[in-house]
Amino acid sequence: NMRKLTKDDIELDEEGIIGLLKEIGSDVCVQLAGEAAGRCGEGYESKEVIYPERNAAIVKATDMKSFRDNLENNTIIKAVFSK
């Protein structure tokens, strides 16, 4: 005879869950940013950024030529949202 679990039946380790989500989320962000930077072409790079409350990844232009290309063509946005 099985009974339904209630929220009182489960005790969550909040720090452990937050740490796990940060780690998994960071891996996914870094991977997606790397793929987007590759689609942008030469002059773009991805970088992992670690904040106290979360981790993230960025794609950025590394020189003036790619910086101007991104301003004129929205290269990074197009690369992030394309497949």
Q: Does the structure show a pLDDT above 80 at 83? A: no
Residues 40 and 79: their CA atoms lie apart, in Å, by 6
pTM over 0.85: no
Q: Which pLDDT value is given to residue 62?
A: 98
Q: Which pLDDT value is given to residue 56?
A: 87
pLDDT tens per residue, range 9-61: 777 778 887 777 777 778 888 999 999 999 999 999 999 998 877 788 999 99
Are residues 83 and 76 in contact, defined by beta-carbon separation less than 8 angstroms?
no
- Segment 66-70 shows an average pLDDT of 98
Residues 17 and 56: their CA atoms lie apart, in Å, by 17
Tell me the CB-side half-sphere exposure of residue 13, using CA atoms within 13 A: 6
Residues 83 and 81: their CA atoms lie apart, in Å, by 7
